[in-house]
Amino acid sequence: MNNAFVLGGTGFVGTRVCEWLANAGWQVTVASRRGARAGHLLHLPRLSVVELDVHDEAALAQGVAGQHAVVNLVAVLHGTQAAFEQVHVLLPQKLARACVAAGVSQLVHVSAIGADAQQPDSAPSMYLRSKGRGEAALMRAAESGQRGVFELAVLRPSVIFGAGDKFLNVFAQLQKVLPIMPLAGADARFQPVWVEDVASAVLRSLERADGARGSGAPLILEACGPDVFTLRQLVQLSARLSGVRGGRGRPVLALPRWLGRLQAALMELAPGEPLMSLDNLDSLQIDNVASGKLPGLSYLGIEGASLVPIASSYLGANRSR
């Protein structure tokens, strides 16, 4: 029986990844700083939870020991340069060293559309630059020729949607309370991907490798759905599917860049995680869509699901709430 060590397994995407792996017969170990966060996963067969700080390199090395595969889903959307560096760059570096030392056969790393391991510093935001540097660190390790090197797959998803997401659900909820929707980056384009397709891609990335370490170049895959929307269209769609104002939603007020940056700066001052940060706005300078230069979900035999039929099922359920 194959086993997998999952970092970030308690979150929105991680929960689905654990479900897919467990249901496919994998022995899954989820790393969590606080084990109580993984309580919703304990019903899954062959799944266990270990409490450890993944940023502690010694604890991380102990956690991956004896594992066939490792899946890294740890990421942050907001924060300082130091926070992005710790999560997106230093953690992959530590993980690469731990995997080589432990003889891990496979590593799947979930990154983001817009990341560029070849020219990471060309990206417009701290988020994307750090994502690119993290990818580069893993690729250097996977291509180093060292004994015990792992097979690497890097998945670059566009924005991820699904029941319980903090994307379409947030747009729908905001329109229930706001008279208008002031929107920065209204014309930015996205190619949303269903969370179940991302989780399936993680599993199939593990299944495609033959387990022979160093037998092939790293797989870099753009995980995107079949449809492209502007941010304005996604906001309007969330209102239509959730029935806000009879499906009409609120008027969308596209903000000029300077006013959008002011809005984002004010949001950063509010307590809790901001809805939009200045760095998020910087990321919107490039479209969040597949380049077409890399394989997509079809490479793994996955036909990406369209957004509307799936989103209507969970946004429509909110009509009565």
295 lies in some domain: no
The candidate with the shortest Cα–Cα distance to 163, out of 225, 103, 240, 242, is 242
Q: Are residues 258 and 195 in the same domain?
A: no
Which of 55-69, 138-152, 190-204 bottoms out in mean pLDDT, i.e. has the lowest? 138-152
3-7, strands of its sheet edge to edge: 47-51, 27-32, 3-7, 69-72, 106-110, 151-157, 219-223
31 & 169 share domain: no
Q: Record the tokens describing residue 171, joined without a space.
A: 């747009």
Task: Name the residue with tokens 């996604």.
Answer: 234
DSSP conformation class of 154? E
Asked if residue 183 belongs to a domain, the reply is yes
Instruction: Answer yes or no: do 141 and 247 share one domain.
Output: no
The CA distance from 296 to 306, in Å, is 15
Domain identity same for 155 and 215: yes
Check pLDDT > 80 for residue 188: yes
Q: What is the residue-wise DSSP string for 75-103?
A: --SS--HHHHIIIIIIHHHHHHHHHHHHT
Distances (CA, A) of 26 to 8, 46, 104, 156: 17, 7, 15, 23
Q: Are residues 124 and 168 in the same domain?
A: no
- Whether residue 42 is contained in a domain is answered as yes
Residue 297 is assigned to a structural domain of this protein: no
Coil, helix or strand at residue 124 = coil
Last residue of a domain, one of 207, 223, 239: 223
Confidence band, pLDDT 50/70/90 cuts, at residue 212? very low
Name the least confident of 47-51, 66-70, 80-84, 245-249. Answer: 245-249
Residue 243 lies in a domain: yes
Average pLDDT, the chain: 93
Which CATH number characterizes residue 183's domain? 3.90.25
145 pLDDT band (50/70/90 cuts)?
low
Q: Are residues 8 and 126 in the same domain?
A: yes
- Provide the residue range defining the domain that includes 172: 163-190+226-289+304-320
Biggest CA pair distance of the chain: 62
How remote is the C-alpha of 137 from its chain's centroid?
Answer: 18
Average pLDDT over residues 132-148: 87
pLDDT classification of 274: cutoffs 50, 70, 90:
confident
pLDDT per position as a tens digit, 1-28: 699 999 999 999 999 999 999 999 999 9
Specify the number of domains making up the chain.
2
Q: Is the pTM of this model over 0.75?
A: yes
**What is the rounded CA–CA span in Å between residue 33 and residue 20?**
22
Given a cut of 70, is residue 303 above it in pLDDT?
A: yes
| H/E element, 267 | helix 257-269
Check: CB of residue 142 under 8 Å from CB of residue 209: no
Same domain for 206 and 272, yes or no, is no
